[in-house]
Amino acid sequence: MLKKISIDELQIGMCLVDSGLSFIDYPYLYTGNMVIHSERQIRKLRREGYLEFFIDTERGFIARRRDHSKKQQDLTADPKSAPEQSAGQRKIPLEAELAVARRLYCKALEFSRAAHQAALADQAPDLADTLEIVSAFLQSIDRTPLALIGVSRLHPGEGYALTHGVNVAILSLAFGRHLGLGVIDLQALGAAALLHDIGKTKIPQTVLSKRDRLTPGEFATVQRHPALGRQLLQECSHLPEQTLNAVLDHHEKHDGSGYPRGLSGDAIAPYARIISLADVYDALSSKRGYRGSLPPNQAMSVIYEMRKSAFYPDYAERFIKYMGLYPVGAFVRLSNGAYGVVVDRNVQRPLAPKVRVVFDQRMRRIMPFTVDLDQEVKSGLSISECLDQQNLDQTRLLA
């Protein structure tokens, strides 16, 4: 299990792991992998300015082991919260919606590419189609949210800078609908999510693409992108104030440790509280230039560890329950050695989703069939491991 600790809690024998969080957004978080063998290592990390670490509690030679089932119960426990929209109801079959979802995703990517290219060229982006794209996403989510969420697990060759905004919009809209937001709120939320990082077009690419730890000056430069994004959108669009504020606040954290203004609690724009979760989840589960992607269950573990400091109360738990530890599109290995793709969540038993089995134990294609792990209690069939995407188009395996 991944656990977040401070420099003062670091001990000899602990196993440090790369959580997948970007050092651009978390400059004081150590992002390497190593076991602490001496006080000298701890002193060196302190001198280098690192304040936070993720450790694997099941590794290292003084690892404090926790019961695995208890960990999973923690991650999937029902939070004390207001009633929410049903997470898994569908109005049409997933297979029927996938083709529509793919087309919508491609259209949104074209919009994102055009907006970024214009901003990079110091031209005003044409944002006339923003609400049209958001409305189309909402219609698909209302038919079945699982299709767009499944498509968002695929990251085409266009690159993270383009896919990230689209993915965050899909996740934010689906989660916002799940929380019971109305159409007007969802449209404002979706627009902010789709355009939340457009301010990065005003940050030097040499800084954004840097593989080493940023200097204090470079990090200060990166911290300007939310304000630059708000300013750009204010100058070239008629988006509502709530949308602009969400773009400005999407890197603020509940405990006040975020940027650019160090806001905390209810002072953070309401839509930004949702976008920040979707932003972190997609960043963790996406391949970046300097690292690979985390499997969804590990990404959820990182979010769970950050729940008290980074996110609005109960939102992380509700997001995990909504998405599931194994979201639609997750590539998994079953306990019998076969491989498949998650095609449906199980809200009551998140560890037992429906899986479409597509490969045998040797990764050879087989005639696909679907197994409901909720009905396999007696057989003992379960998910053994959630794997990297391995360049597979999971959406082609869902139908």
- pLDDT tens-digit map of 73-103: 555 455 544 444 444 455 677 778 888 999 9
Residues 32-79 pLDDT 10s: 788 888 888 898 888 877 888 888 887 765 554 444 444 455 554 555
Q: Which residues contact 122 (CB under 8 A, 6 or more apart)?
A: none
At residue 331, φ and ψ (nearest 5 deg) are -95, 120
Q: Which residues of 27-55 are buried (b: 16+ CB within 10 A; e: fewer)?
A: bbbbbeeebbeeeeebeebeeeebebbbb
pLDDT (0 to 100) of residue 212: 82
Structure tokens, 211:
């593989």
At residue 16, φ and ψ (nearest 5 deg) are -80, 140
At residue 343, φ and ψ (nearest 5 deg) are -115, -10
Check if the beta carbon of residue 65 is closer than 8 Å to that of residue 3: no
- Over the Cα atoms of the chain, what is R_g? 21
Higher pLDDT among residues 90 and 184, named by residue: 184
Residues linked to residue 16 through DSSP beta bridges, in sequence order: 34, 55
Residue type, 355: V
| Terminal Cα distance for the chain, rounded | 33
Alpha-helical segments (H) within the chain = 39-47, 68-76, 94-120, 130-143, 145-152, 160-179, 183-194, 205-208, 216-222, 225-236, 241-249, 270-285, 296-305, 315-323, 394-398
Q: Which of 68-77, 112-121, 146-155 has the lowest mean pLDDT?
A: 68-77
Instruction: Flag whether pLDDT at 289 surpasses 50.
Output: yes
pLDDT (0 to 100) of residue 155: 56
Kindly list the strands in the beta sheet with 339-344, ordered across the sheet, starting from the edge strand earlier in the chain: 365-372, 354-359, 339-344, 331-334, 383-386
Instruction: Flag whether pLDDT at 194 surpasses 50.
Output: yes
pTM score, whole prediction: 0.80
What single-letter DSSP state applies at residue 172? H
Burial of 248 by CB count in 10 Å (0-12 exposed, 13-18 middle, 19+ buried)?
A: buried
List C-alpha distances in Å: 37 to 27, 29, 62, 262.
Answer: 24, 19, 11, 36
pLDDT (0 to 100) of residue 378: 82
Check if the beta carbon of residue 331 is closer than 8 Å to that of residue 373: no
| Residues of the chain above pLDDT 90, percent | 51
Q: How far apart are CA 143 and CA 91, in angstroms?
A: 5
Instruction: Flag whether pLDDT at 339 surpasses 50.
Output: yes
Instruction: Flag whether pLDDT at 310 surpasses 90.
Output: yes
For residue 252, what pLDDT band results from cuts at 50, 70 and 90?
very high
Tell me how crowded residue 298 is: count the other CB atoms within 10 A of its CB.
Answer: 19
Structure tokens, 323:
């998405």
Instruction: Flag whether pLDDT at 251 surpasses 90.
Output: yes
Instruction: Flag whether pLDDT at 261 surpasses 50.
Output: yes
Tell me how crowded residue 264 is: count the other CB atoms within 10 A of its CB.
Answer: 14
pLDDT (0 to 100) of residue 33: 80
Count CA atoms closer than 13 A to 383's CA, side-chain side.
29
What single-letter DSSP state applies at residue 373? G
pLDDT (0 to 100) of residue 399: 58
**In the predicted model, what is the mean pLDDT of residues 22-41?**
77
**In the predicted model, what is the mean pLDDT of residues 205-228?**
91
Kindly list the strands in the beta sheet with 15-16, ordered across the sheet, starting from the edge strand earlier in the chain: 2-6, 52-56, 15-16, 34-35
pLDDT (0 to 100) of residue 258: 95
List C-alpha distances in Å: 200 to 24, 204, 214, 224, 393.
Answer: 12, 8, 15, 9, 28
Q: Which of 109-118, 144-153, 305-314 has the lowest mean pLDDT?
A: 144-153
Residues linked to residue 128 through DSSP beta bridges, in sequence order: none
Average pLDDT, the chain: 85
Higher pLDDT among residues 312 and 73, named by residue: 312
pLDDT (0 to 100) of residue 25: 64
pLDDT (0 to 100) of residue 84: 47
Q: Which of 141-145, 164-168, 265-269, 288-292 has the lowest mean pLDDT?
A: 288-292
Full set of structural domains in the chain with CATH: 2-66 (no CATH), 94-323 (1.10.3210.10), 331-398 (no CATH)
